[in-house]
Amino acid sequence: MIKILVTDGMDKGAVQTLKDMGNEVTEQFFEPEELKEQVKNFNLIVVRSATKVRKEIIDSALQTGNLKLIIRGGVGVDNIDVDYAESKGIKVRNTPKASSSAVAELALGHMFSLARFIGIANATMRESKWNKKQYKGIELSGKTLGLIGFGRIGRQLAKKAKALEMKIIYNDILGPAKDCPEYSFVFLDKLLADSDFISLHVPANKDKSPVIDKAEFTKMKDGVYLINCARGSVVDEVDLLEALNSGKVAGAGIDVFPEEPPQNLELIRHEKVSVTPHIGASTKEAQKRIGVEIISIIKENF
SS3 assignment for 23-35: CEEEECCCCHHHH
| CA-atom Rg of the chain in angstroms | 21
- The CA-CA-CA angle for residues 49, 52, 56, to 5°, reads 170
Domain extent listing, the chain = 3-96+284-301, 100-275
d(CA 127, CA 41) in angstroms, rounded, equals 52
DSSP label of 20: H
At residue 206 the predicted structure's pLDDT band, cuts being 50, 70 and 90, is confident
Query: Which residues have CB under 8 Å from 87's CB, separation 6+?
Result: none
d(CA 2, CA 44) in angstroms, rounded, equals 7
Res. 34: pLDDT tops 90 = yes
| Mean pLDDT (whole number) for 251-277 | 96
The letter for the amino acid at 65 is G
At residue 76 the predicted structure's pLDDT band, cuts being 50, 70 and 90, is confident
155: annotated active-site residue: no
What's the pLDDT at 287? 95
* Best CA proximity match to 110, nearest among 246, 234, 277, 284: 277
DSSP label of 75: S
Half-sphere exposure of 158 (CA within 13 A, CB side): 23
What's the pLDDT at 151? 96
For 111-142, write each residue's pLDDT tens digit.
999 999 999 999 999 999 999 999 999 999 99
At residue 217 the predicted structure's pLDDT band, cuts being 50, 70 and 90, is very high
Answer yes or no: same fold for 3-96+284-301 and 100-275. yes
At residue 22 the predicted structure's pLDDT band, cuts being 50, 70 and 90, is very high
- To the nearest whole number, what is the mean pLDDT of the chain? 96
278: annotated active-site residue: yes
Query: Which residues have CB under 8 Å from 5's CB, separation 6+?
Result: 26, 28, 38, 39, 41, 42, 44, 45, 46
At residue 8 the predicted structure's pLDDT band, cuts being 50, 70 and 90, is very high
105: annotated active-site residue: no
Lowest mean pLDDT among 12-16, 192-196, 206-210, 294-298: 206-210
What's the pLDDT at 165? 98
| Mean pLDDT (whole number) for 71-77 | 92
| Strands of the 197-200 sheet, one edge to the other | 184-185, 167-171, 144-148, 197-200, 224-228, 249-254, 273-275
Domain 100-275: give its CATH architecture.
Answer: 3-Layer(aba) Sandwich (3.40)
The letter for the amino acid at 292 is V
d(CA 281, CA 296) in angstroms, rounded, equals 19
DSSP for 99-150 reads THHHHHHHHHHHHHHHHTTHHHHHHHHHTT---GGG-----STT-EEEEE--
Single out the catalytic residue among 93, 155, 231, 289. Answer: 231
d(CA 277, CA 256) in angstroms, rounded, equals 7
- The SS3 call for residue 258 is coil
Query: Which residues have CB under 8 Å from 296's CB, separation 6+?
Result: none
- pTM given for the model: 0.91
Single out the catalytic residue among 48, 152, 201, 278. Answer: 278
Q: In the CATH hierarchy, which fold is given to the domain comprising 3-96+284-301?
A: Rossmann fold (3.40.50)
| Mean pLDDT (whole number) for 90-114 | 96
| Mean pLDDT (whole number) for 34-55 | 96
Single out the catalytic residue among 33, 165, 260, 285. Answer: 260
